[in-house]
Amino acid sequence: MDNRPVGMFDSGVGGLSVLKVFRELAPEEDVIYFADTDWFPYGPRPAAEVRKRSFAITHRLLESGAKLIVVACNTASAAAIADLREAFPVPFVGMVPGVKPAALRSRSGRVAILATEGTFDGELYSRVVEDFARGTTVSAVTGVGLAALVERGLAGTPQSGEILQRLLGPEVEAGADTVVLGCTHYHFLAGDIAARFPGVEIIDTSEAVARRAVQ
C-alpha cells in the first residue's frame, strides 16, 4: 500500500465535486486539496498564466509527497495537462468536457457545452468535439460569472437561476436537450439547471474523473 497522498487542485471550490466522489470511492486515501483562490478565476486568464500556476501548484504538491495529481479544473486541464504529464514523473488525471456521452445521449442531436473561455480556447476541447461530436450540433456557451457565483455560495438562488436562464435559455429553445457541465464549479449548479429546464439531461464528468483517479 502506497501511503503517500493524492494531490488535487482547482482555482477554488469547484474541484470539491471530484474530491467528494473520490473520498466515497477511496476513503482510505489521504488527499491534499489545493484551492488556488488567490488566482481565481482561471477561466478568463491567458493559457500561459494558467499553465504557470499549474506548474507551481504541482511543484508544491510533489514537495508534499503526492503520488498522483488530479487536475480538477477544466481550464487548467486544457491549458496544462499535456505539459504536466511530459514534465513530471507522476500520473496526472485531468478533466475533459463530456462531449462524447452528450452526443451519444442527445435525442435531438443538439448539445450545449457550458464552460469557461479558457476551456473553449484549448486544443483539448477542439479535439474532443472533432472526435466525438460528428453529426451533433454543439453550441459553446461561455458561463461568464457562474464560477464566481458558486465561489460566493450563491448556487440555488434566484440570481443563479436568472443567469442560467439567460445563458442556456436560447439553446434549449433552439432544441438542445443535453447540457454538458464543462467546469467543475458548475457541478454545484446542476440542481438550478434541472429546475429551470426540466427534461434536459445534464452531463457532469466529476464522477468519471474521480473513478479514473481511483483506477
Task: Give the pLDDT confidence of 90-102 residue by residue, as tens digits.
Answer: 999 999 999 999 9
pLDDT of residue 41: 96
Please pick, among 16, 18, 47, 73, the residue that the annotation labels catalytic.
73
Question: Which three-class secondary structure state does DSSP give residue 123?
Answer: helix
Query: Is-catalytic flag, 183?
Result: yes
CB of 200 within 8 A of CB of 179? yes
Least confident residue range of 11-15, 18-22, 125-129? 125-129
Please pick, among 133, 149, 183, 210, the residue that the annotation labels catalytic.
183
- pLDDT bin (cut points 50, 70, 90) of residue 122 is confident
Question: What pTM does this model have?
Answer: 0.94
Query: Is-catalytic flag, 34?
Result: no
pLDDT of residue 117: 94
Residue 211 confidence (pLDDT) above 80: yes
CB of 7 within 8 A of CB of 70? yes
Shortest CA distance to 31 belongs to which of 56, 60, 9, 55? 9
Residue 1 confidence (pLDDT) above 80: no
Shortest CA distance to 151 belongs to which of 59, 203, 73? 73
Tens of pLDDT, residues 148-161: 999 999 999 999 99
Rounded CA-CA distance 130/11 in Å is 28
β 110-115/201-204 pair status: unpaired
Q: Which helix (H) or strand (E) holds 141?
A: strand 137-142
